[in-house]
Amino acid sequence: DTAVSQTPKYLVTQMGNDKSIKCEQNLGHDTMYWYKQDSKKFLKIMFSYNNKELIINETVPNRFSPKSPDKAHLNLHINSLELGDSAVYFCASSPNPAGGRDTQYFGPGTRLTVL
Amino acid sequence: GNSVTQMEGPVTLSEEAFLTINCTYTATGYPSLFWYVQYPGEGLQLLLKATKADDKGSNKGFEATYRKETTSFHLEKGSVQVSDSAVYFCALYYNQFYFGTGTSLTVIP
């Protein structure tokens, strides 16, 4: 059983297009995250949602918009894609604050390539 | 601010060699410290963690000790295997995660 799943695994698209990446977790966790890993493997948090509410929003272009329809899903929509958006995007989840947000489970990643 | 600095790779070792990957941190409070491992084509997996000074985290033969006096959390393993080839990330948690840049390890038979 996959704990944190992402679709698609690979995404190749042209500059200027709009695309979405989906994330689902079946762990019953309250908190979900999006991270961006660049070509040098540097991993940085982008967003965090707790029970469908945005709690962390790092300095990310407003072309990136997360959407959480329910606490098991956190999708990432990207408008007007740019070359610099090429990266691997990881979704993660963690239990409720009492359980510790420092225990995070990562999805397998989505490799986005913008041509 | 909070940040993590880890040794740059890539690191190439022969099987059964001793491994050390250095990690130091800067934090405004008292963070928890972690090592995550990323195998090729996969997401990050928690390898070990320590939540307070002098704690030692260990898993699968890997160890790291939380050293507050030197602000370090170096990863060690006494005898590496080919299956340990992966990218290793040091991280701290203080309200959110802060990751190091990752160290790629290749173990050759």
Q: How does pLDDT run across A57-107, given as a tens digit for each residue?
A: 777 889 999 999 998 999 999 999 999 999 999 999 988 654 455 678 899
Write the CA distances from A115 to A17, A109, B88, integer angstroms.
10, 19, 29
Q: How does pLDDT run across B9-33, given as a tens digit for each residue?
A: 899 999 999 999 999 999 988 899 9
Task: Determine the distance in angstroms separating the CA of A86 from the nearest CA of chain B, rounded to an integer.
Answer: 16
Edge-to-edge, what's the strand order for the sheet holding A19-25?
A4-7, A19-25, A73-78, A64-70
Whether omega before B10 lies within 30 degrees of 0, making that bond cis, reads yes
Task: Determine the distance in angstroms separating the CA of A109 from the nearest CA of chain B, rounded to an integer.
Answer: 6
Site from A41, A54, A91 to mutate, B interface, most B CB atoms within 10 angstroms: A41
- What pairs with residue A36 in β-bridges? A44, A89
Contacts of B41 in chain A (CB under 8 A): 108
Give the integer Cα–Cα distance in Å for B38 and B104: 9
